[in-house]
Structures are given as C-alpha cells and as structure tokens.
C-alpha cells in the first residue's frame, strides 16, 4: 500500500490506473480505524480493481463544543490495518492541503432539508461539512464507487442525495453495520467509553430491538414506543438526544400505511455521543 499526502501526487498515482481501464473503489474515513472500517475496505476489494481510502479528520464537520482536538490520531496502526485488508492507496492530507485558503473561504455544499433534521438538528452545520469534504474527496479521487457504513444512516442518505443532485456517476454503496458480539455498533467514539460505560453501551441496540418488536406487535402507539425507549435508555444511564421512527425513503415522519421504516437513535453515554439504527420492513 502506498501512502500519499498531496492531491497532485494522488492524481498522478491514479492516472495510470484509469488509463488501464481499471475500476477504483473509495472508502473515506477520519482514521482511528476498527473492524467496521475494514468491512468497508473488504467490500471495496469486491467492487473494484483498486481500493483507495482516505484519512482526514475534517474540522468542518465539528462544532465548537465537539471533540475535534481530542479525536484519536493513529496513522501507523491505521496504515497496517488498511494494508492487511487489501487497500492499495491511502490518501492522508493535512488541513492545508484540503483547505488551502482556509475553511472560512471554502465553497460549501449543502443538501437542503435532510441535513437539518435528527443529527443535523443536534449538530448544526455538521452535514454541510460532511457534504463539502466528501465532494472534494470525490473530485480528487474520481472513484467509480464509494462505500459508506449504514451506521451513519442519515449521512449515507445525505451523500446519496448529494451525488444524485449533482449528477455524479459515482455509485454509492451502503455496507451493513459491523457490531461487537454484544451488539454495540463499532465506532471510533467507543474508545471514549469507560469500562463501566462500555458495559452499559449495548443497551442502545437492545432498546432498538425492543422497539422493533413493539412496532410489529402494534399494541402501543409510535409515540409511546419513542417515549418508553427514551426512558429505558435514561434508566440505563444515557442522556437522550433523539429516538425516532422514520420513513426509510426520506427520513420524514411515516404515514400509517408505510411499512419500510428505520429506527434512528442518538444518545450520550459519558462523553461519547453514540448513534445506531435498525431498518424494518413491517410487511415481513
């Protein structure tokens, strides 16, 4: 695996690959990699001839009170994981390479509507930062496809909408959530959890599973399911952000007839903000 730090070097390295008519798959990350990321890399090796990943802790998607400064940076460990799982190129730029004129003068990409709800409401401006940096990375790598995890379900939908709206030919692939044996979705922010918090953390997924069962039984209202789920989380030690049941098509409040739904959860446990989701088809 070759590690590249500049856009010019990246474009030069990938030029011959395109001339050879080889397909490129791209997996953007913020580093501090784990097996959830590696599941994306392994999927990428099945989708294309060459796999490119990136590591860039994007300051545009962090607000002033978030964890940008303490976000873990583990480049050597990340390089070893990527190489062992079949990555061919790692693009690891610094902030000056990504934003040469500074963030304040950076042209921004906003996917209206969907960027302002759920995590977008809790983290104003977050999805503008995501859409902007992903657009820039797409323009630098020019992949045939890009793989994202479905744990960040709203983020995946933002990127899908952005790609469609900008008439991009890049194929967006969502890979299933990778989980620990106890059900906790793998995340770099799990590293913020204390031993006791890590013991509690699987309650997030367990509560989502309870909500799936309650929805299928249709004995209590959606509103009661949401509130009871929040109460279960708070009883376990979480601080609520949101627990929502939305349409899988557009993340809006579903009609009574809709059967394809998604449960979306965000909650704080100690200093870690954890998210998870489960997709449901009530017809099955």
What sign does the CA torsion over 270, 33, 242, 162 have? positive
According to DSSP, the residues that pair with 269 across neighbouring strands are 272
Q: Is 37 a catalytic residue?
A: yes
For 32, the token pair is 């501090």
| Tokens coding 246 | 């939305």
Looking at 5, 34, 37, 142, which residue is catalytic?
Answer: 37
Edge-to-edge order in the sheet of strand 89-91: 2-4, 89-91, 50-55, 24-29, 145-149, 171-175
Residues 6 or more apart whose CB falls under 8 angstroms from that of 144 comprise 23, 24, 25, 48, 170, 171
Q: Are 151 and 270 in contact (CB under 8 A)?
A: no
Angle between helices 126-141 and 153-165 (to 10 degrees): 60
Residues annotated catalytic, as ranges: 37
């Amino acid at each position: 695996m070759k590690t590249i730090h500049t856009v010019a070097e990246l474009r030069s390295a990938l030029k011959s690959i395109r001339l050879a008519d080889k397909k490129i798959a791209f997996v953007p990350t913020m580093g501090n990699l784990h097996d959830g990321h590696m599941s994306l890399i392994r999927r990428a090796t099945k989708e294309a001839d060459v796999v490119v990943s990136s590591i860039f802790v994007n300051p545009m998607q962090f607000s002033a009170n978030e964890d940008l400064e303490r976000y873990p940076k583990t480049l050597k460990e990340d390089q070893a994981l990527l190489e062992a799982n079949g990555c061919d190129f790692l693009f690891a730029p610094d902030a000056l390479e990504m934003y040469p004129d500074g963030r304040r003068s950076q042209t921004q990409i906003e996917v209206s509507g969907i960027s302002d709800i759920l995590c977008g409401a809790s983290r104003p401006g977050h999805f503008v930062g995501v859409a902007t940096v992903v657009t820039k990375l797409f323009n630098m790598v020019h992949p045939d496809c890009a793989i994202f995890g479905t744990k960040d379900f709203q983020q995946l939908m933002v990127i899908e909408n952005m790609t469609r709206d900008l008439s991009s030919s890049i194929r967006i692939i969502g890979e299933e959530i990778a989980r620990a044996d106890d059900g906790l979705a793998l995340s770099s922010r799990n590293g913020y959890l204390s031993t006791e918090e890590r013991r509690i953390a699987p309650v997030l997924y367990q509560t989502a599973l309870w909500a799936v069962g309650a929805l299928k039984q249709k004995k209590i209202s959606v509103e009661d399911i949401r509130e009871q789920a929040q109460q279960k989380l708070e009883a376990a030690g979480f601080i609520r952000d949101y627990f929502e049941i939305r349409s899988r098509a557009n993340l809006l409040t579903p009609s009574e007839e809709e059967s394809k739904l998604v449960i979306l959860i965000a909650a704080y446990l100690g200093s870690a903000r954890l998210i998870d989701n489960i997709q449901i088809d009530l017809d099955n």
